[in-house]
């Protein structure tokens, strides 16, 4: 599953992505360093198990301070994914 992302930041940050199933269990997580500026990118979301064709996956993206400097979430977005 390839996820297209676009962001605009005024400082270097970390992007945390988490994919959940319909029951709220975490299927996949990734932390990416993202840099100040405006960017388009794609992230390969490859959970250990193959994704079933169900309508209830949820991908949560969070922007946080760089290198774990606190747990503050600066921005959060949620994408619901249907795989039919």
- Span 8-65, pLDDT tens digits: 999 999 999 999 988 899 999 999 999 999 999 999 888 777 777 776 889 999 999 9
Neighbour count for residue 61 (Cβ, 10 Å): 18
- Span 54-73, pLDDT tens digits: 768 899 999 999 876 667 89
């Amino acid at each position: 599953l390839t996820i297209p992302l676009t962001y605009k930041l005024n400082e270097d940050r970390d992007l945390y992505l988490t994919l959940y199933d319909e029951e709220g269990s975490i299927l996949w997580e990734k932390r990416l360093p993202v840099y100040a500026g405006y960017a388009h990118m794609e992230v390969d979301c490859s959970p250990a198990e193959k994704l079933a064709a169900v309508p209830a996956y949820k991908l949560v993206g969070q922007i946080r301070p760089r290198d774990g400097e606190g747990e503050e979430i600066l921005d959060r977005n949620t994408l619901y994914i249907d795989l039919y």
